[in-house]
Amino acid sequence: MATLFETDVNEADVTLSGDDILAGLDGKDVLVSSITDRIDADLIRRLPKSVRLIAQFGNGVDNIDVDAALAAGLTVTNTPSVLTEDTADMAMALMLALPRRLVEGTQMLVRDRAWAGWSPTSMLGHRLRGKALGIVGMGRIGTAVAQRAKAFGLNIHYYSRNRRPPGVEMPLEATYWDDLDAMLGAVDIVSLHTPHTRETFHILSAERMALMRQGSFVVNVSRPELVDEAALVAAIEDGHLSGAALDVFDNRNGINPRLLALAEANKVVLTAHMASATLEARIEMGETVIVNIRTFMDGHQPPHRLLPG
């Protein structure tokens, strides 16, 4: 960006306040944001007139009030596709980590130095093949997860606003559910791949967790807001769910100590919002931001612009 444009970078790599963001924007055409920058309606109202494009470095845009931005005549872009495969890889890794006790096995060896050697009943986990996976949100990432899971022998179920065409469903032998509640009672693993919007906030509510099968578990590489975390913790504590593998969790006031306790007890696997954190994805995300800016500044519609609604 610095080669192509006159660029002001947040070199400190720390989250800026709204006022700090505004202070750096005087006379600028473009604001490049990422998930930790809260671009709400108030900040949008206070943006200098020079700013015409918000180019998000990221797929999800729930940190931006997109409706307010579009209503103010701004263009908003994101960086989809380039992080799909890496994010799906991480979902698959998390799906394996719980039943195959990957973290626990490593900790026993390395942290606890407590391995007594192989024995027939040591570190027994559960087989993935033959289990039913319920994917919530069958977009790009959900579909990429389904492809991987199919190769691992999981039976694919999905809930999505729209049923996917036979060309997508058939190779996956996927079962479509138009009723999320019904799907939850029919699967062993629930993996969340829907964006965080007003409609999807707590899509996995306490009521819905109660509908999940005894001993089933949750994978979330999307957004913490999709899950009622307090209810999830309670459902694992009381043994209804066997666990959760979470790349995202509520971290606004630190991580919930009860969630951490469950992680210590190896019922929960936590990773640090790193599903898309590959060097390759970050480079391609940056390149996509640049393509969006360049086409916009050249007077064209940028390829990854968001539409109203």
Binding site for ligand 8YV (CB under 6 A): 34-35, 57-60, 83, 275-276
Cβ closest to ligand 8YV, residue 154 vs residue 221: 221
CB 276, min distance to ligand 8YV, A: 3
Which residue's beta carbon is nearest to the bound ligand 8YV? 58
CB 83, min distance to ligand 8YV, A: 6
The crossing angle, in degrees rounded to 10, of helices 102-110 and 84-97 is 70
Cβ closest to ligand 8YV, residue 191 vs residue 216: 191
Closest Cα partner for 156 from 182, 181, 131?
131
Virtual CA dihedral for 36, 251, 235, 130, nearest 10 degrees? 50
CB 17, min distance to ligand 8YV, A: 17
Cβ closest to ligand 8YV, residue 34 vs residue 197: 34
Cβ closest to ligand 8YV, residue 105 vs residue 224: 224
CB 247, min distance to ligand 8YV, A: 8
Total residue count of the chain as it appears in this document: 309
Other Cβ atoms within 10 Å of 123 Cβ, number: 12
Q: Which backbone phi and psi does 279 adopt, to 5 degrees?
A: -60, -40
CB 57, min distance to ligand 8YV, A: 5
Q: Cite the DSSP H helix spans in the chain.
A: 18-23, 41-46, 66-71, 84-97, 102-110, 140-151, 166-172, 180-184, 206-211, 229-237, 257-264, 279-297
Cβ closest to ligand 8YV, residue 194 vs residue 276: 276
Cβ closest to ligand 8YV, residue 213 vs residue 304: 304
CA-CA distance, 175 to 134, in Å (whole number)?
Answer: 9
What the block records as the tokens of 247 is 């790349």
Q: How far is CA 59 from the centre of its chain?
A: 9
CA-CA distance, 84 to 169, in Å (whole number)?
Answer: 18
CB 86, min distance to ligand 8YV, A: 8
CA-CA distance, 83 to 100, in Å (whole number)?
Answer: 26
CA-CA distance, 237 to 254, in Å (whole number)?
Answer: 20
CB 307, min distance to ligand 8YV, A: 18
CB 269, min distance to ligand 8YV, A: 17
Cβ closest to ligand 8YV, residue 99 vs residue 302: 302
What the block records as the tokens of 189 is 């693993």
Cβ closest to ligand 8YV, residue 58 vs residue 302: 58
On whether the CB atoms of residues 236 and 243 are closer than 8 A, the answer is yes
